[in-house]
Structure 1
Amino acid sequence: MKLIRLDERSRRDRLRFVKSQWRFYQGDPHWVPPLIFDRMKLLDVRRNPFYQHSKIALFLVEDRTGPLGRIAAIVNDNHNRTHNDRVGFFGFYESIHSQEVTSALLDAAAEWLQLHGMTHIRGPVNPSMNDECGLLIEGFDRPPVVLMTYNPPYYPALLEGWGLQKTMDLYAYLLDQESYRSEKLDRLLGIVRQRTGVQIRAMDFRNRTQFRRDVEILRDLYNTAWEKNWGFVKMTDAEFDFLAADLKQIADPNLVLIAEVGDRPVGFALALPDINQCLIHNRSGRLLPGLWHLMTKRKQITMVRIIVLGLLPEFRRTGIDAVLYAEIGERAKARGALWGEASWILETNDPMNHALQNTMHGVRYKTYRLYERTIE
């Protein structure tokens, strides 16, 4: 086998890196092939504004039969400035069931990160905590929902075999439309609405001016509400606009909600239709067949993912988060959704974990893990 450093500036090399993923999921019924177009855009160091403050290196291990594994090493300067540390990241990891291959990949990533002054390696993140992140360690019996990761069950042992250890777990909760509402919850929601005067409105995607205003509101809320969260890094204006343009293509405006008290935005929630229920049929990952599956199967989607829900610090523990969850649930139900996934939730976020389990009757059904190791 041989280790290859690919050129992240080369479209040909990025495509080689992206397409290698298919080797590792042949015959896996739960894997959802990504759109090659989307993966190429995510890794494009010229177009993706993430790389205005970050660097990435792509590595591939292969033999004469084809790819055996891949990994990306990432230096996120904004992360290190925010947290005053020297943590490098790895992501986009795939491997055959071989400790030798995984160790070669992680050795290469660690060496590159050391050359850039990093003292720790953490991951997987693809390529940041604001994107897909975490290694699936529990819940292999279902496909992933939109923008969540999936991997073979043997991956954790391979990463741990190189010396990586758990640094944080991320939870995903399954919410059932038939059980998440109760008389107790409805009474609570009424009290919260009366006491806080909160009003919930949806984004308007058709009015370009209002859409731009709302994107700015969401960006400010996101960067403020999550500021103290473990591992969080504020998104730049360019990054948020880049993400908003992508999400607008798949989002339902009625599931992008802003909570206001008086005329002040105090929180928001974003739920996405689980387009993975369509894309799982697009085994090639090519764009045009993927669009065809989205158009012809979109009405069959029965799941939404509550991807973001947050409040300004002074409005936490007011119950407005429960109002947002309930609004998302009712609006999703009206569009045929039977279930919702709330993900991901930090294992240390006790108030949210408690609310999802005890108030919303959610079931924690998947766990994702972030690993870390010193590399000095």
Structure 2
Amino acid sequence: MHGVIDRAAPANVQVRAADHGRHHRLFVRLPYTLYQDDPLWAPPLRFEERHRWSERHNASLRSRWTRRFVAVRGRRVTGRIAAIVDPGFARTWEEATALFGFFECADDPESAAALLAAAEAAARSRGMRRLLGPVNLTPHDETGILLEGFDVPPTVQSPYNPPFYRQLLEGAGYELVRRYYAFSATPTDEAAPAVTRLVRAAARGIGPARGVTVRSIDLRCWVDEARILWRLYNESFASLWGFVRIGWDEFRQRAKAFKVFAEAELVRIAEYEGEPVGFGLTLPDINEALRGTGGRLLPFGWLHLRRHVPRIRTVKFLMLGVLPAHRGRGIGPLIAYETQQAAGRLGYERLDLSLVQA
């Protein structure tokens, strides 16, 4: 959603700065209140949500300016928002455009308008003229709002919200600028005939993918493998709208978090004559285990996770990238095929492929 910065806050709602102290704690806690009766919502671990706002634990904060706010009506916190200035995004894609993210709100148009007005004023103080979002800090994080499929449990790294969010944002003058899609498959779905021919030809050393091999990562050499993935990610996605190059410290932190649940067969690197040219990152959908924890590991959340992690049945195909010089050779379909086969061997029942730009 995209809007021009030119509004005043409604008078019936108070907006409080939430960068520190009590209001910051309210900012972090709000989703757990808003979604407490929603059986589909997967509560993120609370300590991880606190760490998102620590430069020590989140290197992405070091290169971005942020301001956080909560909306209060009477004694009730009705919403939250963050204003974000990402110099890399503004320089590469949208000049004088700030981002807003972490938007959560009750079905209260005045609270939504007040939050957006506060974010707009904060962005304006940094010389910005437009606001785009929701983007939860960086383009590498949760992006957008859910427009359809409210009866489907969200997978990890996917947006989730009530149906009225679109009305709240459009009612405040924001308009839709991009659409993303999610797709679902199973490991037993038959590959398209063209993919089957491609795989067979590659195995015989002929066809457009000759010389290409697809391997699993080696979890024993995680740092070395992560550096390969980091380079491939930055180079493969550079021309994708909204993408901002990610630094090594940022990527290393994210890779460390992914490693906890990563399965080697689901993280694939394609090589051409021994050189990495593409990758696919697929992870077990930890959201299936998080539902029912309330975001807490103690006193009993860790037992819930321990019991449910082995029962995860869905994997999330998070990323698929191929270096520009090697596109058109079928490397992407090869990676996807190998990933689908691996998911079946590992006993998973469903693959979620998202988010995909229209």
Same fold, TM-score > 0.5, yes or no: yes
Q: Is the contact made by 1:192 and 1:320 (CA closer than 8 Å) also made in structure 2?
A: no
Give the RMSD, CA atoms, in angstroms.
Answer: 1.6
Q: Secondary structure at the match of 1:31?
A: coil
Q: Is the contact made by 1:14 and 1:40 (CA closer than 8 Å) also made in structure 2?
A: no
1:333 Cα deviation (Å)? 1.0
Q: Is the contact made by 1:302 and 1:336 (CA closer than 8 Å) also made in structure 2?
A: yes
Q: Check if 1:277 corresponds to 2:277.
A: no
Q: Check if 1:35 corresponds to 2:35.
A: no
Q: Is the contact made by 1:31 and 1:144 (CA closer than 8 Å) also made in structure 2?
A: yes
Distance in 1, matches of 2:122 and 2:194, equals 55
- C-alpha change, 1:295 and 1:167, in structure 2 (3 Å) is same
Structure 2 residue runs without a partner (length 5+): 1-12
Paired residue for 2:6? none
Distance in 2, matches of 1:36 and 1:299, equals 22
In percent, how many aligned pairs have the same letter? Answer: 35
Q: Check if 1:287 corresponds to 2:301.
A: no
TM-score (normalizing by structure 1): 0.87
Q: Secondary structure at the match of 2:179?
A: strand
Distance in 2, matches of 1:309 and 1:290, equals 33
User: Quick one: which of 191, 198, 201 aligns to 2:212?
Assistant: 198
1:226 Cα deviation (Å)? 0.3
What's the CA shift string for 1:322-373, capped at 9, x where partnerless? 11111111111111111101111110xxxxxxxxxxxxxxxxxxxxxxxxxx
Q: Check if 1:238 corresponds to 2:252.
A: no
Q: Is the contact made by 1:30 and 1:144 (CA closer than 8 Å) also made in structure 2?
A: yes
Paired residue for 1:3? 15
TM-score (normalizing by structure 2): 0.91
Instruction: Give the total of aligned pairs.
Output: 341
Q: Check if 1:176 corresponds to 2:186.
A: yes
Q: Secondary structure at the match of 2:49?
A: helix
Q: Is the contact made by 2:93 and 2:241 (CA closer than 8 Å) also made in structure 1?
A: no
1:46 Cα deviation (Å)? 4.4
1:65 Cα deviation (Å)? 4.2
User: Quick one: which of 149, 159, 178 aligns to 2:169?
Assistant: 159
Structure with more strand by fraction:
1
Q: Is the contact made by 1:6 and 1:13 (CA closer than 8 Å) also made in structure 2?
A: yes
Q: Secondary structure at the match of 2:54?
A: coil
Higher relative contact order (CA 8 A, sep 6+): 1
Distance in 1, matches of 2:57 and 2:23, equals 16
Q: Secondary structure at the match of 2:44?
A: coil
Distance in 2, matches of 1:307 and 1:180, equals 21
Distance in 2, matches of 1:180 and 1:37, equals 41
Q: Check if 1:266 corresponds to 2:277.
A: yes
Distance in 2, matches of 1:84 and 1:338, equals 40
1:6 Cα deviation (Å)? 1.3
Paired residue for 1:223? 234
Q: Which 10-residue stretch deviates more, 326-335 or 218-227?
A: 326-335
1:25 Cα deviation (Å)? 1.5
Structure 1 residue runs without a partner (length 5+): 348-376
